[in-house]
Structure 1
Amino acid sequence: MPDHTTEPIHHLYAKSLVIGIIAGIGGGLVSLGGGTLIIPMLMGWMRMTPVAARGTAIAVSLFTAGMGAFMYGQSNMLDLPVAVWVALPSLMMAPLAAKWSENWPAARLKRGFGLVVILGGLLVMFRDEAGIFPGLSDQWEVPFLLLVGILEGLVAGIIGISGGPVLAPLFVLGMGMPQQLAQGCSLAARLPAVATGTWENWRLGNIQTRWIPGLALGGMAGAWAGSKTALWLPEHGLRVLFAILLIALGTHYLIFPSKNHREK
């Protein structure tokens, strides 16, 4: 579906590049980006419809999450088996959850999600002070990761937000991961779902392919810069930054639930 705008074409290409950079920085720096940042910008700046914005955003996430996961992996801040154990149940659960929740009260669900995200942000911020998250023993790691994947799939299907807001806090709190490792695993774990979502949206014609080069180029550049910054920051400082952004995101969902647009 074409976007309705009379702006000069070079303005729109420049906007696509800027949007990609912003989304990439969010993904690389704190594993938040994707639909959280890019969908509102595509709708506001590029005048895309909600359906086109969602489809285009998930396609761009393939580039930003891929670059971010690569950068974290290069610095040994990616545990591939962890990402796989989480990705498999999430990939199966997300479409089922989306189908089950089609007629559920979206605003109420998003407010509840906002409360959970705020609580997660507070727990991440004060994990060391609380002293109640010692990490799991080896025998419980795989069951925990499968449960995390199921929860991530439920949230992705029902609320429409995947990745950082769900995965990284659970890795930090449940497994005692340092923030950088949690973010690397979070970025990698979402890639299979992003890939299948991109294919489905392309098949349905929901991706504005003419803007993908600028969005993808900006997204990869932003993810590279964001990841470099995250890997340079002290672990505690990055964790506090991530927690603050989680709390801000949860507050947004709590106060403005009807203004969030579902992301596949």
Structure 2
Amino acid sequence: MIDFIINIVIGGLLGVFGGLLGIGGGLFAIPTLSLLYGMDQQLAQGTALAMVVPNIVLGIYKYHQRNKINWKTGALLGLCAFALSWFGALVAIDLDHRTMRKIFIGFLIFIAIWTVLQMLAKRASSNLQQLPWPYFAGLGSISGFFGGLFGIGSAVIATPVLTMFFGASQVIAQGLSLAIAVPTTVATLVTYSVHGQVDWSTGFAMAIGGVLTISYGVRAAHSLPQHRLKIIFSVFVLISAALLYGQL
């Protein structure tokens, strides 16, 4: 019972970060499960997905209340992401867990650097509704593959692309990214579960905590400047990468 309560508390902390940064908490849940619970990379990714699914659904609702999500665009992104997420998950399952962890660390560093470059580069200015559909199909496919590979959903990939190249604001991009993350996260979770790479009891407890707190993170995301959100995101991603590297 004590372990269950601790998992709820940890899930609650991750839920705040998930709502704040629009990523459902998965990106930070994976290092947490690896470092605190000693899980292999694939098991950590699968268990994090069990926590992330309800967080993403609630996060979409909260974001949509404040900034209406373009469901037509979200559906196109989500369908393309769904198709590739299965493939990415199957690739991850077949990799050696140490190799998978090294790749994941490299991915974290890349995401942090990319986020910093966003702050330095001039952001594109465009109307999302005027962009042709292949832009969104390509973004959805790439996001789906890496979401399935790393068990993080597509939001981590889609959010910086939508802001840096598609001209979306940070909060609009985060809300739209959460919308396309649902089908990819569910598909990836099913794949990991079929291969026995999900600790359901831990994931369920953390999901309870995340659902209880994610709304506070969403509220904070709408009150903080965009550059501050990016700094917070980059710092925590780099810390996660450093801690995981030390565990190799």
Smaller-chain TM-score bracket: 0.7 to 0.9
Write the mapping of 1:135-146 to structure 2, written as runs, cut at 5 A.
135=126, 138-146=129-137
Give the letter aligned to residue 125 of structure 1: M
Deviation at 1:41, TM superposition (A): 2.6
The answer for the alignment partner of 1:21 in structure 2 is: 12
Report the structure number with the largest CA radius of gyration: 1
Selected match of 1:113 from 107, 117, 126? 107
Does 1:209 find its partner at 2:200? yes
Q: Which stretch shows the higher mean deviation, 72-81 or 114-123?
A: 114-123
The answer for the alignment partner of 1:60 in structure 2 is: 51
**In the aligned structure 2, how far is the partner of 1:229 from the partner of 1:209?**
29
Give the letter aligned to residue 241 of structure 1: R
The TM-score, its normalising length taken from structure 1, stands at 0.76
**In the aligned structure 2, how far is the partner of 1:42 from the partner of 1:255?**
15
Aligned partners of 2:17 and 2:214 also within 8 Å: yes
Deviation at 1:181, TM superposition (A): 1.1
Tell me the alpha carbon deviations over residues 134-177 of structure 1, each in whole angstroms, 9 at most, x when there is no partner: 22575534221111112212322445543343111111122221
Identity percentage of aligned residues: 22
Deviation at 1:117, TM superposition (A): 2.0
Aligned partners of 2:151 and 2:185 also within 8 Å: no
The answer for the alignment partner of 2:182 in structure 1 is: 191
The structure with the greater share of residues assigned to helix is 2
The answer for the alignment partner of 1:244 in structure 2 is: 231
Deviation at 1:32, TM superposition (A): 3.2
Does 1:41 find its partner at 2:35? no
Tell me the alpha carbon deviations over residues 71-92 of structure 1, each in whole angstroms, 9 at most, x when there is no partner: 0112234222222221122221
- The CA RMSD over aligned residues, in Å, is 3.2
Deviation at 1:107, TM superposition (A): 7.0
**In the aligned structure 2, how far is the partner of 1:254 from the partner of 1:215?**
21
The answer for the alignment partner of 1:223 in structure 2 is: 214
The answer for the alignment partner of 1:31 in structure 2 is: 22
The answer for the alignment partner of 1:122 in structure 2 is: 116
Tell me the alpha carbon deviations over residues 115-147 of structure 1, each in whole angstroms, 9 at most, x when there is no partner: 5423421243245xx3x5122575534221111
Q: Which stretch shows the higher mean deviation, 70-79 or 184-193?
A: 70-79
Taking a change above 3 Å as real, the CA distance of residues 74 and 133 of structure 1, as seen in their structure-2 partners, is same
**In the aligned structure 2, how far is the partner of 1:157 from the partner of 1:259?**
25
SS at match of 1:175: coil
Does 1:75 find its partner at 2:66? yes
Q: Which stretch shows the higher mean deviation, 247-256 or 148-157?
A: 247-256
Give the letter aligned to residue 57 of structure 1: A
Deviation at 1:192, TM superposition (A): 0.5
Write the mapping of 1:83-98 to structure 2, written as runs, cut at 5 A.
83-98=74-89
Does 1:178 find its partner at 2:165? no
Taking a change above 3 Å as real, the CA distance of residues 227 and 253 of structure 1, as seen in their structure-2 partners, is closer
